[in-house]
Amino acid sequence: MKFNQLTKTKFIKRPNRFILLLEIEDTKERIEAHLPDPGRLKELLVKGAVIWVEQAAAGKRKTKWTAILCETNTRVHVSLKTTIANKLVEEALIEQKLAGFLEWELVRREYTVGHSRFDFLLALGDRRLLLEVKSVTLSRSNKGYFPDAVTKRGARHVQELTQLVLDARYEAAVLFVAQREDIESIQMEDTIDPCFSTAMKEAQEAGVLIKSIGTILNQYEILIEKQIPVFI
């Protein structure tokens, strides 16, 4: 998946969950950028950190820029836009190149069951599978952790997937996508959100398929690299 042209900036401060104050490297102009990821991101958003931004299409938005990537002090690129993971997975599903789902056909994205909307509906003959995608950016010692903030909605979705599997209405899967290439495995961050961790354990026991993939990421593109271990 290719990115649009990105502009290099430096992080100054984060006035609120969804806004960053930045300085464009070339012109020294100070700008505000929309931050798509509302997580804590304390280990990433430090003074002087490199932030790659994309100019937003003309419209009614208050901010003319969107933060796309951050660089760590070791020059590792980290995605700041969680929907990149969904777009990456969608491309792989369409091309039938997503390991673990090679034979499945993408039927629809954002598929609603009951009162909830799931990321993808897949089909294989008469079988139907609901797929939820989770973006992972929190990393310690090359281990990815999810979530980086409490996600009641995420836990509810996993619980609903579990019940749909138990009721034999659908098959289901949760796919964790590492949105930084230094992540070699993924596990649940139960100290941040024990409810989500419990929901994942119950999902695994009920037969929900759980997988994770690593990526190659830079300011030009993000590519799926390989499957990596996920520990529940």
The pTM of this model reads 0.91
- Give the domain CATH number at 208: 3.40.1350.60
Question: 162-184: string of b/e by CB count within 10 Å (b at 16+)?
Answer: bebbeeeebbbbbbbbbbbbbbe
Number of domains into which the chain is organized: 2
Host domain of residue 62: 7-79
Query: Does the structure show a pLDDT above 80 at 128?
Result: yes
Identify whether residues 96 and 146 lie together within a single domain. Answer: yes
Identify whether residues 22 and 117 lie together within a single domain. Answer: no
- Mean pLDDT over 28-56 rounds to 91
Identify whether residues 133 and 211 lie together within a single domain. Answer: yes
Q: For the chain, how long is the longest CA-to-CA vector? A: 59
Nearest to 227, CA basis, from 187, 180, 186, 196: 186
Question: What integer pLDDT is reported at residue 37 of this predicted model?
Answer: 86
- Give the domain CATH number at 14: 2.40.50.580
Identify whether residues 96 and 20 lie together within a single domain. Answer: no
Query: Does the structure show a pLDDT above 80 at 17?
Result: yes
Question: For the segment 146-166, what is each residue's pLDDT rounded down to a tens digit?
Answer: 998 899 999 999 999 999 999
